[in-house]
Chain A
Amino acid sequence: MKVIGAVFVIVAILVGIVPMFTDCESAGRMLTLADGRQVSMKCHWTGLAELGVSLPLLVVGGLMIFSQHKESRRTLGIVGSSLGAVVLLLPTVLIGVCMNPDMPCVSIMKPSLLLMGAVVVVAGLGAVGLNWGSEQQAA
Protein backbone atom coordinates (compact mmCIF):
# COMPACT_ATOMS: atom_id res chain seq x y z
CA MET A 1 0.00 0.00 0.00
CA LYS A 2 2.98 2.24 0.58
CA VAL A 3 3.69 2.13 -3.17
CA ILE A 4 0.13 3.18 -4.07
CA GLY A 5 0.40 5.95 -1.47
CA ALA A 6 3.69 7.03 -3.03
CA VAL A 7 2.07 6.99 -6.50
CA PHE A 8 -0.70 9.27 -5.15
CA VAL A 9 1.86 11.66 -3.63
CA ILE A 10 4.03 11.83 -6.78
CA VAL A 11 1.05 12.26 -9.11
CA ALA A 12 -0.49 14.87 -6.77
CA ILE A 13 2.71 16.93 -6.95
CA LEU A 14 2.80 16.60 -10.75
CA VAL A 15 -0.91 17.47 -11.09
CA GLY A 16 -0.25 20.65 -9.13
CA ILE A 17 2.96 21.60 -10.94
CA VAL A 18 2.55 20.53 -14.61
CA PRO A 19 -0.30 23.01 -15.44
CA MET A 20 1.76 25.89 -14.05
CA PHE A 21 4.34 25.38 -16.81
CA THR A 22 2.12 24.12 -19.63
CA ASP A 23 -0.93 26.41 -19.65
CA CYS A 24 -1.13 29.12 -22.28
CA GLU A 25 -0.39 31.89 -19.77
CA SER A 26 2.97 30.28 -18.97
CA ALA A 27 3.73 30.55 -22.71
CA GLY A 28 2.81 34.25 -22.60
CA ARG A 29 -0.57 33.87 -24.31
CA MET A 30 -3.60 35.69 -22.92
CA LEU A 31 -6.95 36.84 -24.27
CA THR A 32 -7.10 40.52 -25.18
CA LEU A 33 -10.54 42.08 -24.66
CA ALA A 34 -12.04 44.85 -26.79
CA ASP A 35 -11.06 47.43 -24.15
CA GLY A 36 -7.43 46.25 -24.31
CA ARG A 37 -7.46 44.39 -21.04
CA GLN A 38 -5.74 41.01 -20.97
CA VAL A 39 -7.41 38.08 -19.23
CA SER A 40 -6.40 34.49 -18.64
CA MET A 41 -7.65 31.74 -20.92
CA LYS A 42 -9.69 28.91 -19.48
CA CYS A 43 -6.75 26.50 -19.39
CA HIS A 44 -5.28 28.73 -16.69
CA TRP A 45 -8.37 28.23 -14.52
CA THR A 46 -8.22 24.49 -15.17
CA GLY A 47 -4.61 24.59 -13.94
CA LEU A 48 -5.63 26.39 -10.75
CA ALA A 49 -8.48 23.95 -10.16
CA GLU A 50 -6.05 21.05 -10.62
CA LEU A 51 -3.83 22.63 -7.97
CA GLY A 52 -6.88 22.59 -5.71
CA VAL A 53 -7.40 18.88 -6.40
CA SER A 54 -3.72 18.03 -5.97
CA LEU A 55 -3.63 19.15 -2.32
CA PRO A 56 -6.27 16.69 -1.00
CA LEU A 57 -4.74 14.00 -3.24
CA LEU A 58 -1.39 14.67 -1.59
CA VAL A 59 -2.98 14.26 1.84
CA VAL A 60 -4.73 11.04 0.75
CA GLY A 61 -1.41 9.67 -0.53
CA GLY A 62 0.35 10.57 2.72
CA LEU A 63 -2.38 8.94 4.80
CA MET A 64 -2.27 5.85 2.54
CA ILE A 65 1.46 5.44 3.22
CA PHE A 66 1.01 5.48 6.99
CA SER A 67 -2.39 3.79 7.22
CA GLN A 68 -2.40 0.44 9.04
CA HIS A 69 -6.04 -0.60 8.67
CA LYS A 70 -7.66 -2.22 5.67
CA GLU A 71 -10.89 -0.26 6.06
CA SER A 72 -9.14 3.09 6.12
CA ARG A 73 -6.94 2.14 3.13
CA ARG A 74 -10.03 1.09 1.24
CA THR A 75 -11.73 4.40 2.01
CA LEU A 76 -8.59 6.29 1.02
CA GLY A 77 -8.54 4.31 -2.24
CA ILE A 78 -12.12 5.38 -2.99
CA VAL A 79 -11.33 9.03 -2.16
CA GLY A 80 -8.16 8.87 -4.28
CA SER A 81 -10.06 7.39 -7.22
CA SER A 82 -12.70 10.10 -6.95
CA LEU A 83 -10.02 12.79 -6.94
CA GLY A 84 -8.44 11.10 -9.98
CA ALA A 85 -11.80 11.30 -11.73
CA VAL A 86 -11.92 15.04 -10.98
CA VAL A 87 -8.40 15.39 -12.42
CA LEU A 88 -9.77 13.78 -15.60
CA LEU A 89 -12.99 15.82 -15.71
CA LEU A 90 -11.50 19.29 -15.19
CA PRO A 91 -9.70 19.62 -18.55
CA THR A 92 -12.40 17.71 -20.48
CA VAL A 93 -15.88 18.45 -19.12
CA LEU A 94 -15.89 20.80 -16.14
CA ILE A 95 -13.68 23.67 -17.39
CA GLY A 96 -11.77 22.50 -20.46
CA VAL A 97 -8.75 23.87 -22.27
CA CYS A 98 -8.28 26.14 -25.30
CA MET A 99 -9.68 25.25 -28.75
CA ASN A 100 -6.53 25.65 -30.86
CA PRO A 101 -4.74 22.28 -31.10
CA ASP A 102 -1.38 24.06 -31.38
CA MET A 103 -1.69 25.60 -27.88
CA PRO A 104 0.55 24.02 -25.21
CA CYS A 105 -2.46 23.43 -22.97
CA VAL A 106 -3.99 21.16 -25.65
CA SER A 107 -0.84 19.34 -26.72
CA ILE A 108 0.89 18.96 -23.34
CA MET A 109 -1.22 19.98 -20.33
CA LYS A 110 -4.44 18.14 -21.19
CA PRO A 111 -2.85 14.79 -22.16
CA SER A 112 -0.57 14.92 -19.10
CA LEU A 113 -3.54 15.50 -16.79
CA LEU A 114 -5.57 12.76 -18.48
CA LEU A 115 -2.71 10.29 -18.13
CA MET A 116 -2.12 11.20 -14.49
CA GLY A 117 -5.86 11.15 -13.72
CA ALA A 118 -6.15 7.67 -15.25
CA VAL A 119 -3.17 6.44 -13.20
CA VAL A 120 -4.73 7.80 -9.97
CA VAL A 121 -8.15 6.25 -10.74
CA VAL A 122 -6.61 2.83 -11.46
CA ALA A 123 -4.25 3.01 -8.46
CA GLY A 124 -7.16 4.00 -6.19
CA LEU A 125 -9.30 1.13 -7.48
CA GLY A 126 -6.29 -1.15 -7.03
CA ALA A 127 -6.04 -0.04 -3.38
CA VAL A 128 -9.75 -0.79 -2.91
CA GLY A 129 -9.35 -4.23 -4.49
CA LEU A 130 -6.23 -5.14 -2.52
CA ASN A 131 -7.90 -4.13 0.76
CA TRP A 132 -11.20 -5.89 0.15
CA GLY A 133 -12.69 -7.75 3.12
CA SER A 134 -12.48 -6.89 6.79
CA GLU A 135 -9.51 -7.06 9.13
CA GLN A 136 -11.15 -9.94 11.04
CA GLN A 137 -11.58 -11.97 7.83
CA ALA A 138 -7.94 -11.46 6.98
CA ALA A 139 -6.94 -12.62 10.45
Chain B
Amino acid sequence: MKLIRLAISNLAGSSFRSWLVFFCSALMAGFVVSGTLVIRGADSSLRLALERLGADIIVVPKGNSQRLETALLMGIPAHMWMPDTVVDDIRAVSGVEAASPQIYLSTLRGAVCCSVPEMFLIAYDPDTDFTLKPWLEKNLEGGLALAEAVGGSLVFVPVQDGALLVYGTSLELKGTLEATGTGLDQSMFFTFDTAFKIAEESSDLAVKVLDIPPRTVSSVLVRVGMDQDPHQVALAIAEKLPNVTPMETSSLFQGQREQILSLLNSVVALLGITWLLGMGLTTVIFALAVNQRRRQIGVMRALGARRTVVLQSLLMEAGLLAIAGGIQGIAIAALAIYLFRPLIVRLMGVPFLFPGFLPLAGLGLGALALVLVGVLLAAAIPIVRVSLQDPAISMRE
Protein backbone atom coordinates (compact mmCIF):
# COMPACT_ATOMS: atom_id res chain seq x y z
CA MET B 1 0.00 0.00 0.00
CA LYS B 2 2.81 2.34 0.97
CA LEU B 3 4.56 1.49 -2.29
CA ILE B 4 1.47 2.49 -4.31
CA ARG B 5 1.26 5.80 -2.47
CA LEU B 6 4.94 6.44 -3.05
CA ALA B 7 4.55 5.58 -6.74
CA ILE B 8 1.50 7.84 -7.14
CA SER B 9 3.21 10.78 -5.44
CA ASN B 10 6.28 10.28 -7.63
CA LEU B 11 4.07 10.20 -10.73
CA ALA B 12 2.28 13.39 -9.67
CA GLY B 13 5.68 15.01 -9.13
CA SER B 14 6.74 14.50 -12.75
CA SER B 15 3.42 14.89 -14.49
CA PHE B 16 4.77 15.62 -18.00
CA ARG B 17 6.77 12.39 -18.13
CA SER B 18 3.89 10.47 -16.59
CA TRP B 19 1.47 11.75 -19.23
CA LEU B 20 3.93 10.81 -21.98
CA VAL B 21 4.15 7.19 -20.76
CA PHE B 22 0.37 7.22 -20.24
CA PHE B 23 -0.22 8.24 -23.88
CA CYS B 24 2.34 5.72 -25.13
CA SER B 25 0.50 2.96 -23.25
CA ALA B 26 -2.85 4.21 -24.54
CA LEU B 27 -1.53 4.21 -28.11
CA MET B 28 -0.03 0.74 -27.83
CA ALA B 29 -3.20 -0.75 -26.30
CA GLY B 30 -5.44 1.15 -28.71
CA PHE B 31 -3.60 -0.19 -31.75
CA VAL B 32 -3.73 -3.77 -30.48
CA VAL B 33 -7.47 -3.56 -29.80
CA SER B 34 -8.47 -1.74 -32.99
CA GLY B 35 -6.33 -3.97 -35.21
CA THR B 36 -7.60 -7.16 -33.61
CA LEU B 37 -11.22 -5.98 -33.63
CA VAL B 38 -11.16 -5.17 -37.34
CA ILE B 39 -9.31 -8.32 -38.45
CA ARG B 40 -11.19 -10.72 -36.19
CA GLY B 41 -14.49 -8.95 -36.85
CA ALA B 42 -14.08 -9.33 -40.61
CA ASP B 43 -12.91 -12.93 -40.30
CA SER B 44 -15.71 -14.07 -37.98
CA SER B 45 -18.25 -12.26 -40.14
CA LEU B 46 -17.22 -14.28 -43.24
CA ARG B 47 -17.10 -17.49 -41.20
CA LEU B 48 -20.61 -16.96 -39.79
CA ALA B 49 -21.96 -16.11 -43.24
CA LEU B 50 -20.58 -19.38 -44.61
CA GLU B 51 -22.05 -21.31 -41.67
CA ARG B 52 -25.42 -19.63 -42.28
CA LEU B 53 -25.38 -20.73 -45.91
CA GLY B 54 -25.05 -24.28 -44.61
CA ALA B 55 -24.45 -25.77 -48.07
CA ASP B 56 -21.34 -27.26 -49.68
CA ILE B 57 -22.10 -25.88 -53.14
CA ILE B 58 -24.33 -23.07 -54.44
CA VAL B 59 -25.38 -23.40 -58.06
CA VAL B 60 -26.29 -20.15 -59.86
CA PRO B 61 -26.95 -19.29 -63.51
CA LYS B 62 -23.66 -18.91 -65.42
CA GLY B 63 -22.00 -15.50 -64.95
CA ASN B 64 -23.80 -14.64 -61.70
CA SER B 65 -21.30 -15.86 -59.12
CA GLN B 66 -19.90 -12.39 -58.39
CA ARG B 67 -23.37 -10.90 -58.02
CA LEU B 68 -24.36 -13.59 -55.54
CA GLU B 69 -21.23 -12.96 -53.45
CA THR B 70 -22.03 -9.23 -53.35
CA ALA B 71 -25.62 -9.98 -52.42
CA LEU B 72 -24.63 -12.28 -49.58
CA LEU B 73 -21.87 -10.00 -48.33
CA MET B 74 -23.33 -6.53 -48.66
CA GLY B 75 -27.07 -7.27 -48.90
CA ILE B 76 -27.31 -5.73 -52.38
CA PRO B 77 -30.19 -7.64 -54.02
CA ALA B 78 -29.39 -9.85 -56.99
CA HIS B 79 -31.90 -11.16 -59.49
CA MET B 80 -31.06 -14.29 -61.47
CA TRP B 81 -33.16 -16.98 -63.01
CA MET B 82 -32.71 -20.51 -64.37
CA PRO B 83 -35.23 -23.24 -65.21
CA ASP B 84 -36.40 -25.26 -62.19
CA THR B 85 -35.57 -28.48 -64.04
CA VAL B 86 -31.99 -27.75 -62.98
CA VAL B 87 -32.86 -28.92 -59.45
CA ASP B 88 -33.66 -32.48 -60.60
CA ASP B 89 -30.64 -32.49 -62.90
CA ILE B 90 -28.40 -31.57 -59.96
CA ARG B 91 -29.98 -34.22 -57.72
CA ALA B 92 -29.10 -36.78 -60.38
CA VAL B 93 -25.39 -35.90 -60.20
CA SER B 94 -23.39 -38.52 -58.34
CA GLY B 95 -22.28 -37.39 -54.86
CA VAL B 96 -25.18 -34.94 -54.33
CA GLU B 97 -27.03 -35.81 -51.13
CA ALA B 98 -29.56 -32.94 -51.10
CA ALA B 99 -30.44 -30.03 -53.36
CA SER B 100 -32.82 -27.22 -52.45
CA PRO B 101 -33.84 -24.32 -54.71
CA GLN B 102 -34.10 -20.68 -53.64
CA ILE B 103 -35.63 -17.60 -55.29
CA TYR B 104 -33.98 -14.20 -54.84
CA LEU B 105 -36.22 -11.13 -54.77
CA SER B 106 -36.00 -7.57 -53.48
CA THR B 107 -38.33 -4.89 -52.18
CA LEU B 108 -38.95 -1.67 -54.10
CA ARG B 109 -37.02 1.53 -53.48
CA GLY B 110 -38.99 4.59 -52.43
CA ALA B 111 -42.40 2.90 -52.56
CA VAL B 112 -44.93 3.02 -49.73
CA CYS B 113 -45.93 -0.60 -50.42
CA CYS B 114 -42.57 -1.78 -49.03
CA SER B 115 -41.49 -1.05 -45.46
CA VAL B 116 -37.80 -1.26 -46.24
CA PRO B 117 -36.27 -0.20 -49.58
CA GLU B 118 -34.27 -2.72 -51.61
CA MET B 119 -34.19 -5.46 -49.00
CA PHE B 120 -32.76 -8.76 -50.21
CA LEU B 121 -35.54 -11.38 -49.98
CA ILE B 122 -34.81 -15.09 -50.11
CA ALA B 123 -37.62 -17.56 -50.74
CA TYR B 124 -36.89 -21.20 -49.96
CA ASP B 125 -38.60 -24.50 -50.59
CA PRO B 126 -39.66 -25.85 -47.15
CA ASP B 127 -39.98 -29.42 -48.48
CA THR B 128 -36.33 -29.71 -49.51
CA ASP B 129 -34.63 -26.98 -47.44
CA PHE B 130 -31.72 -28.01 -45.24
CA THR B 131 -30.08 -24.63 -44.53
CA LEU B 132 -32.76 -22.78 -42.52
CA LYS B 133 -34.37 -25.98 -41.24
CA PRO B 134 -32.06 -26.56 -38.23
CA TRP B 135 -32.66 -22.99 -37.00
CA LEU B 136 -36.41 -23.17 -37.65
CA GLU B 137 -36.75 -26.53 -35.87
CA LYS B 138 -34.93 -25.12 -32.86
CA ASN B 139 -36.74 -21.77 -32.67
CA LEU B 140 -40.08 -22.11 -34.48
CA GLU B 141 -42.12 -25.22 -34.02
CA GLY B 142 -43.81 -26.12 -37.29
CA GLY B 143 -41.61 -23.84 -39.42
CA LEU B 144 -42.88 -20.85 -41.35
CA ALA B 145 -46.49 -20.68 -42.51
CA LEU B 146 -47.95 -18.58 -45.31
CA ALA B 147 -47.19 -14.82 -44.91
CA GLU B 148 -44.64 -15.52 -42.19
CA ALA B 149 -40.94 -14.65 -42.40
CA VAL B 150 -37.71 -14.68 -40.45
CA GLY B 151 -35.23 -11.86 -40.84
CA GLY B 152 -31.56 -11.13 -40.37
CA SER B 153 -30.50 -9.35 -37.19
CA LEU B 154 -31.11 -5.90 -38.72
CA VAL B 155 -34.65 -6.64 -39.91
CA PHE B 156 -37.41 -5.23 -37.71
CA VAL B 157 -41.06 -4.26 -38.04
CA PRO B 158 -41.32 -0.47 -38.62
CA VAL B 159 -43.44 1.20 -35.94
CA GLN B 160 -45.33 3.39 -38.44
CA ASP B 161 -46.43 0.39 -40.56
CA GLY B 162 -47.20 -2.01 -37.68
CA ALA B 163 -46.23 -4.90 -39.99
CA LEU B 164 -43.61 -5.72 -42.58
CA LEU B 165 -45.07 -4.64 -45.89
CA VAL B 166 -43.59 -6.36 -48.93
CA TYR B 167 -45.22 -5.29 -52.22
CA GLY B 168 -48.30 -4.36 -50.16
CA THR B 169 -48.57 -7.79 -48.53
CA SER B 170 -48.27 -7.75 -44.77
CA LEU B 171 -45.80 -10.31 -43.42
CA GLU B 172 -45.43 -11.45 -39.83
CA LEU B 173 -41.82 -11.47 -38.62
CA LYS B 174 -41.61 -14.72 -36.65
CA GLY B 175 -37.99 -14.52 -35.61
CA THR B 176 -34.58 -12.93 -36.01
CA LEU B 177 -31.43 -14.79 -36.98
CA GLU B 178 -28.09 -14.32 -35.24
CA ALA B 179 -25.97 -11.42 -36.55
CA THR B 180 -23.27 -12.22 -39.10
CA GLY B 181 -22.20 -8.69 -39.99
CA THR B 182 -22.87 -9.45 -43.68
CA GLY B 183 -25.73 -8.63 -46.03
CA LEU B 184 -27.59 -11.64 -44.64
CA ASP B 185 -28.38 -9.46 -41.60
CA GLN B 186 -30.51 -7.25 -43.87
CA SER B 187 -32.18 -10.16 -45.67
CA MET B 188 -35.56 -11.77 -45.10
CA PHE B 189 -36.44 -15.43 -45.58
CA PHE B 190 -39.88 -16.90 -46.36
CA THR B 191 -41.32 -19.89 -48.17
CA PHE B 192 -42.00 -20.26 -51.90
CA ASP B 193 -45.77 -20.12 -51.16
CA THR B 194 -45.35 -16.72 -49.47
CA ALA B 195 -43.30 -15.46 -52.43
CA PHE B 196 -46.01 -16.55 -54.89
CA LYS B 197 -48.72 -14.98 -52.69
CA ILE B 198 -46.80 -11.67 -52.63
CA ALA B 199 -46.34 -11.84 -56.42
CA GLU B 200 -50.05 -12.55 -56.93
CA GLU B 201 -51.24 -9.75 -54.64
CA SER B 202 -48.68 -7.24 -55.87
CA SER B 203 -50.73 -6.40 -58.98
CA ASP B 204 -53.45 -4.96 -56.70
CA LEU B 205 -51.49 -3.80 -53.67
CA ALA B 206 -48.11 -2.59 -54.94
CA VAL B 207 -46.98 0.24 -57.21
CA LYS B 208 -45.11 -2.35 -59.26
CA VAL B 209 -45.85 -6.00 -59.89
CA LEU B 210 -43.46 -8.53 -58.38
CA ASP B 211 -42.50 -10.63 -61.33
CA ILE B 212 -41.37 -14.21 -60.69
CA PRO B 213 -40.87 -15.96 -64.04
CA PRO B 214 -42.86 -19.25 -64.03
CA ARG B 215 -40.99 -22.49 -63.36
CA THR B 216 -37.73 -20.75 -62.50
CA VAL B 217 -35.41 -20.61 -59.49
CA SER B 218 -32.49 -18.31 -58.64
CA SER B 219 -30.07 -20.76 -57.10
CA VAL B 220 -29.79 -24.33 -55.87
CA LEU B 221 -28.10 -25.12 -52.57
CA VAL B 222 -26.33 -28.45 -52.60
CA ARG B 223 -25.16 -30.70 -49.79
CA VAL B 224 -22.77 -33.45 -50.80
CA GLY B 225 -22.55 -36.91 -49.22
CA MET B 226 -20.37 -37.49 -46.14
CA ASP B 227 -17.53 -39.18 -48.01
CA GLN B 228 -17.75 -36.99 -51.12
CA ASP B 229 -15.34 -34.25 -52.16
CA PRO B 230 -17.33 -31.03 -52.83
CA HIS B 231 -14.79 -30.02 -55.48
CA GLN B 232 -15.31 -33.21 -57.48
CA VAL B 233 -19.09 -32.87 -57.15
CA ALA B 234 -18.90 -29.23 -58.31
CA LEU B 235 -16.86 -30.33 -61.34
CA ALA B 236 -19.42 -33.02 -62.12
CA ILE B 237 -22.27 -30.46 -61.93
CA ALA B 238 -20.38 -28.05 -64.21
CA GLU B 239 -19.75 -30.84 -66.68
CA LYS B 240 -23.34 -32.02 -66.75
CA LEU B 241 -24.98 -28.56 -66.74
CA PRO B 242 -23.00 -26.09 -68.87
CA ASN B 243 -25.40 -23.15 -68.25
CA VAL B 244 -24.80 -22.98 -64.50
CA THR B 245 -21.89 -22.10 -62.21
CA PRO B 246 -21.39 -24.32 -59.15
CA MET B 247 -19.72 -22.27 -56.40
CA GLU B 248 -18.01 -24.18 -53.61
CA THR B 249 -18.80 -22.40 -50.34
CA SER B 250 -15.31 -23.17 -49.02
CA SER B 251 -13.89 -20.95 -51.76
CA LEU B 252 -16.56 -18.25 -51.49
CA PHE B 253 -15.50 -14.70 -50.58
CA GLN B 254 -11.94 -15.41 -51.78
CA GLY B 255 -11.37 -11.75 -52.72
CA GLN B 256 -12.50 -10.61 -49.28
CA ARG B 257 -10.26 -13.18 -47.59
CA GLU B 258 -7.26 -11.93 -49.56
CA GLN B 259 -8.18 -8.39 -48.56
CA ILE B 260 -8.29 -9.40 -44.89
CA LEU B 261 -4.89 -11.07 -45.27
CA SER B 262 -3.30 -7.96 -46.79
CA LEU B 263 -4.97 -5.87 -44.08
CA LEU B 264 -3.52 -8.22 -41.48
CA ASN B 265 -0.02 -7.65 -42.87
CA SER B 266 -0.46 -3.86 -42.73
CA VAL B 267 -1.88 -4.02 -39.21
CA VAL B 268 1.01 -6.20 -37.99
CA ALA B 269 3.56 -3.80 -39.54
CA LEU B 270 1.81 -0.79 -38.00
CA LEU B 271 1.58 -2.54 -34.63
CA GLY B 272 5.28 -3.38 -34.77
CA ILE B 273 6.24 0.23 -35.47
CA THR B 274 3.90 1.60 -32.77
CA TRP B 275 5.16 -0.84 -30.16
CA LEU B 276 8.79 -0.25 -31.03
CA LEU B 277 8.35 3.53 -30.77
CA GLY B 278 6.17 3.26 -27.64
CA MET B 279 8.59 0.99 -25.82
CA GLY B 280 11.59 3.02 -26.98
CA LEU B 281 10.03 6.25 -25.72
CA THR B 282 9.10 4.61 -22.41
CA THR B 283 12.70 3.45 -21.94
CA VAL B 284 14.04 6.93 -22.65
CA ILE B 285 11.49 8.60 -20.34
CA PHE B 286 12.24 6.22 -17.47
CA ALA B 287 15.98 6.56 -18.07
CA LEU B 288 15.61 10.34 -17.73
CA ALA B 289 13.33 9.98 -14.69
CA VAL B 290 15.60 7.62 -12.75
CA ASN B 291 18.66 9.62 -13.74
CA GLN B 292 17.10 12.73 -12.23
CA ARG B 293 16.09 10.82 -9.10
CA ARG B 294 19.44 9.15 -8.48
CA ARG B 295 19.98 11.14 -5.30
CA GLN B 296 16.47 10.37 -4.02
CA ILE B 297 17.03 6.69 -4.72
CA GLY B 298 20.46 6.83 -3.07
CA VAL B 299 18.94 8.43 0.06
CA MET B 300 16.21 5.75 0.14
CA ARG B 301 18.84 3.02 -0.04
CA ALA B 302 21.05 4.76 2.57
CA LEU B 303 18.06 4.98 4.94
CA GLY B 304 17.70 1.21 4.76
CA ALA B 305 15.33 0.62 1.85
CA ARG B 306 16.23 -2.65 0.21
CA ARG B 307 17.15 -2.85 -3.46
CA THR B 308 13.94 -4.75 -4.21
CA VAL B 309 11.83 -2.02 -2.60
CA VAL B 310 13.38 0.61 -4.88
CA LEU B 311 12.92 -1.68 -7.84
CA GLN B 312 9.30 -2.44 -6.94
CA SER B 313 8.49 1.23 -6.37
CA LEU B 314 9.82 2.27 -9.78
CA LEU B 315 8.21 -0.68 -11.58
CA MET B 316 4.97 0.14 -9.78
CA GLU B 317 5.07 3.60 -11.36
CA ALA B 318 5.51 2.07 -14.80
CA GLY B 319 2.76 -0.48 -14.11
CA LEU B 320 0.26 2.13 -12.91
CA LEU B 321 0.86 4.26 -15.98
CA ALA B 322 0.58 1.22 -18.26
CA ILE B 323 -2.72 0.14 -16.68
CA ALA B 324 -4.27 3.64 -16.66
CA GLY B 325 -3.11 4.44 -20.21
CA GLY B 326 -3.99 0.96 -21.43
CA ILE B 327 -7.56 1.15 -20.12
CA GLN B 328 -7.97 4.58 -21.73
CA GLY B 329 -6.59 3.38 -25.07
CA ILE B 330 -8.68 0.21 -25.08
CA ALA B 331 -11.88 2.12 -24.26
CA ILE B 332 -11.34 4.79 -26.93
CA ALA B 333 -10.27 2.27 -29.60
CA ALA B 334 -13.22 -0.06 -28.94
CA LEU B 335 -15.67 2.86 -28.92
CA ALA B 336 -14.20 4.31 -32.13
CA ILE B 337 -14.34 0.96 -33.96
CA TYR B 338 -17.92 0.42 -32.76
CA LEU B 339 -19.07 3.89 -33.83
CA PHE B 340 -17.25 3.91 -37.17
CA ARG B 341 -18.02 0.32 -38.19
CA PRO B 342 -20.35 1.22 -41.12
CA LEU B 343 -17.60 3.46 -42.50
CA ILE B 344 -14.97 0.74 -41.96
CA VAL B 345 -17.17 -1.79 -43.79
CA ARG B 346 -17.59 0.63 -46.69
CA LEU B 347 -13.90 1.50 -46.90
CA MET B 348 -12.66 -2.09 -46.59
CA GLY B 349 -15.39 -3.61 -48.74
CA VAL B 350 -15.47 -6.49 -46.26
CA PRO B 351 -18.27 -7.19 -43.76
CA PHE B 352 -17.42 -6.74 -40.15
CA LEU B 353 -19.00 -8.11 -36.99
CA PHE B 354 -18.41 -6.33 -33.68
CA PRO B 355 -17.86 -8.94 -30.94
CA GLY B 356 -20.13 -9.40 -27.93
CA PHE B 357 -19.30 -8.21 -24.43
CA LEU B 358 -17.38 -11.29 -23.21
CA PRO B 359 -15.04 -11.64 -26.21
CA LEU B 360 -14.51 -7.86 -26.11
CA ALA B 361 -13.70 -7.96 -22.38
CA GLY B 362 -11.29 -10.85 -23.04
CA LEU B 363 -9.60 -8.90 -25.81
CA GLY B 364 -9.38 -5.81 -23.58
CA LEU B 365 -7.78 -7.79 -20.74
CA GLY B 366 -5.36 -9.44 -23.16
CA ALA B 367 -4.35 -6.08 -24.62
CA LEU B 368 -3.95 -4.64 -21.12
CA ALA B 369 -1.71 -7.53 -20.09
CA LEU B 370 0.37 -7.06 -23.26
CA VAL B 371 0.80 -3.34 -22.64
CA LEU B 372 1.66 -3.96 -18.99
CA VAL B 373 4.36 -6.44 -19.95
CA GLY B 374 5.64 -4.16 -22.74
CA VAL B 375 5.87 -1.04 -20.56
CA LEU B 376 7.38 -2.95 -17.62
CA LEU B 377 10.01 -4.47 -19.91
CA ALA B 378 10.81 -1.08 -21.45
CA ALA B 379 11.02 0.62 -18.06
CA ALA B 380 12.93 -2.27 -16.44
CA ILE B 381 16.17 -1.58 -18.35
CA PRO B 382 16.99 1.81 -16.72
CA ILE B 383 15.25 0.90 -13.45
CA VAL B 384 17.28 -2.28 -12.87
CA ARG B 385 20.47 -0.41 -13.72
CA VAL B 386 19.84 2.33 -11.16
CA SER B 387 18.66 -0.06 -8.46
CA LEU B 388 21.88 -2.07 -8.79
CA GLN B 389 24.00 1.05 -8.25
CA ASP B 390 25.74 1.63 -4.94
CA PRO B 391 23.83 4.23 -2.81
CA ALA B 392 26.99 6.26 -2.15
CA ILE B 393 27.70 6.58 -5.87
CA SER B 394 24.04 7.41 -6.58
CA MET B 395 24.07 10.26 -4.04
CA ARG B 396 27.42 11.61 -5.21
CA GLU B 397 26.28 11.73 -8.85
Contacts and interface: CB of A to CB of B under 8 A. Distances in A.
Interface of A: 2-3, 101, 106-108, 110-112, 114-115, 118-119, 122
A111 B332 contact: no
Contacts of B339: 110-112, 114-115
Contacts of A3: 15, 19
A107 B342 contact: yes
A118 B335 CA distance: 9
A111 B19 contact: no
B343 A108 contact: yes
A65 to B, nearest CB: 13
A112 B340 CA distance: 8
B39 to A, nearest CB: 20
Contact of B346 (A107, A111, A115, A118): A107
Interface string B252-293: 000000000000000000000000000000000000000000
Place the interface of chain B in its size category.
10 to 19
In order of increasing CB-CB distance, the 7 nearest A-B pairs are A111-B339, A107-B343, A111-B340, A3-B19, A107-B342, A114-B339, A115-B336
Contacts of A118: 335
A76 B343 CA distance: 34
Contacts of B335: 114-115, 118
16 contacts: A2-B15, A3-B15, A106-B342, A107-B340, A107-B342, A107-B346, A108-B340, A110-B339, A111-B339, A111-B343, A112-B339, A115-B335, A115-B336, A115-B339, A119-B332, A122-B331
Nearest to A106: B342
Contacts of A122: 331
Interface centre among A2, A107, A115 (most CB of B within 10 A): A107
B319 to A, nearest CB: 19
